[in-house]
Chain A
Amino acid sequence: GAVVSQHPSRVICKSGTSVKIECRSLDFQATTMFWYRQFPKKSLMLMATSNEGSKATYEQGVEKDKFLINHASLTLSTLTVTSAHPEDSSFYICSAPGQGTYFRNEQFFGPGTRLTVL
């Protein structure tokens, strides 16, 4: 199957700093990627749709100035949490839809990035 990676896997930062999380499709191209966040023992919440070469589409209630998304190439999307606060501490997961006849009906998820803001 297709592989999606995320970097870093874990990050701890101080309140007020910005953190960038990378999502890469390793062996396929992704014109669209999705970003989710997940709090402990809760389900995944879709934050935004990342579109290669254009602006991201944010879900209702998600601050676009707080969570900056850049999809600069067909294999890379980045999520930057700006001016992070402790309430931004969460598990951030990206996904990309599969390509080709065999994989086009499923999405491939990254392993997630655990952000802790002190």
Chain B
Amino acid sequence: DAKTTQPPSMDCAEGRAANLPCNHSTISGNEYVYWYRQIHSQGPQYIIHGLKNNETNEMASLIITEDRKSSTLILPHATLRDTAVYYCIVSVIQGAQKLVFGQGTRLTINP
């Protein structure tokens, strides 16, 4: 079973920051938080991952709470192409670790 809970859907205006929350209260000390997204009828795409420090890359920022029980993915300037289902996954980094997907958040960016 997935170890994360996310709101089923969110809306955001184009150009605004999209903040997607994720709860992972049972996360283990050696588990990372991963974010993937899936645009309609495509395979998922990696966004970002982190352990306990905040992370930023060209796509997004990841804010992990100090107790690591929740995190927030931030898309700083959402565009229409960011409309997708966003999945928060906890997983141990161990080379070929399988990913267990929860239900994700369906993010709709509105013009």
Q: Which residues of A contact B (CB under 8 A)?
A: 4, 31-32, 34, 36, 43-46, 49, 91, 93, 95, 97, 104-112, 114
Say yes or no: B100 contacts A46, CB within 8 Å: yes
Say yes or no: B99 contacts A108, CB within 8 Å: no
B103 CB within 8 Å of chain A: yes
Closest to B102 in A: A43
CB distance from B48 to the nearest CB of A (A): 9
C-alpha spacing A29/B45, complex, angstroms = 19
Number of interface residues of B (CB under 8 A): 23
Say yes or no: A106 contacts B98, CB within 8 Å: no
CB distance from A58 to the nearest CB of B (A): 12
B29 CB within 8 Å of chain A: no
Bitwise interface map of B from 41 to 52 toward A, beta carbon under 8 Å scored 1, else 0: 111111001000
Say yes or no: B98 contacts A112, CB within 8 Å: no
Given that A95-B43, A106-B49, A107-B46 are known contacts, is A44 also in contact with B93, CB under 8 Å in the complex? no
CB distance from A88 to the nearest CB of B (A): 18
Say yes or no: B49 contacts A109, CB within 8 Å: no
Q: Which residues of B contact A110 (CB under 8 A)?
A: 43
Say yes or no: A105 contacts B100, CB within 8 Å: no
Q: Which residues of A contact B43 (CB under 8 A)?
A: 4, 93, 95, 109-112
Given that A31-B96, A43-B103 are known contacts, is A91 also in contact with B44, CB under 8 Å in the complex? no
Partner of A44, one of B32, B45, B95, B101: B101
Say yes or no: B97 contacts A112, CB within 8 Å: no
C-alpha spacing A108/B45, complex, angstroms = 7
Partner of A32, one of B2, B46, B87, B96: B96
Closest to B34 in A: A106
Closest to B32 in A: A105
